[in-house]
Amino acid sequence: MNGIVSLGEAMPMRPHTTQKCEQHGEYPSYRFAGRQTGCPRCADDKLRKDQHLRNVALEAERFAARLKQVGIPPRYADAHLDEVDQAEAIRAWLRAARAGKSGALVVLGHTGTGKTHLACAAARYAIEQGMAARYTTVPRYLRQIAETWGVRGVTERAVHQPLVDAELLVLDELGAGRAGENDTWRVHDLIADRYDEARPTILISNLTPNELRAVIGDRAYDRIREDCVQINLVGESRRAPPQRR
């Protein structure tokens, strides 16, 4: 049983008139609470439609919560692949990634060219296809690492390992800020560990390839270059310039 009882079934038997619905034809109409009842099949249709809309809204809420849980910034929660020029190339990469036949996806470009939007759109699409994705930035990763220092029973591994284990990881802001040697090694280890586990990673940076090599080190750079797909975003910044006063 679906829990939906038609209006005709719920009404007790009593004198009625025959009315005609443009969609469903003739139906018995009863006088109830001072009003004539309408088409019972239309009432059933409305109940089902309303329930469907509630289910759709609930699913949307659950999906939004899932995007937040995996770290996708609210600003990019509605990013869709159809909005980017490289959609087909990214879908092809993700198909290969799910089959275990792809390396990293490296997205480079100046500030404001849409790198994060593209990466989050790719992550959202991957989640829609059933992949378990995570999004983080290098500064956030290093900050969360630092927050474990001095906490009894908590090690850096508690931050590091979930990112290694993610089926798909988006690692944004590579090269942002000034990282010390230890921080560089932490980023290198994250990339290297995912490489060793053959897990696909999307790497985002506003650096040139040579600058990226200098930041993450030769070994990590050589690993991500192996079988990687590189997308270069060009053009002027899409971000609005500051208002002059």
Q: The domain containing residue 186 runs over which residues?
A: 73-233
Tell me the pLDDT tens digit for each residue of 14-29. Answer: 667 888 898 898 888 8
Low-confidence ranges of the chain (pLDDT < 50): 1, 240-245
* Domains in the chain, number: 2
Residue 215 lies in a domain: yes
- The Cα-based distances of 84 to 22, 88, 98 in angstroms read 45, 9, 21
Whether residues 57 and 159 share a domain: the answer is no
3 state DSSP class of 68 = helix
Please report the pLDDT score of residue 67 as a whole number.
Answer: 79
Under 8 Å between Cβ of 132 and 166:
yes
Question: What CA–CA distance (Å, rounded) separates 111 from 133?
Answer: 24
Please report the pLDDT score of residue 6 as a whole number.
Answer: 54
Question: What CA–CA distance (Å, rounded) separates 129 from 143?
Answer: 31
Whether residues 128 and 213 share a domain: the answer is yes
- State the Cα angle at 95 between 175 and 73, rounded to 5°: 40
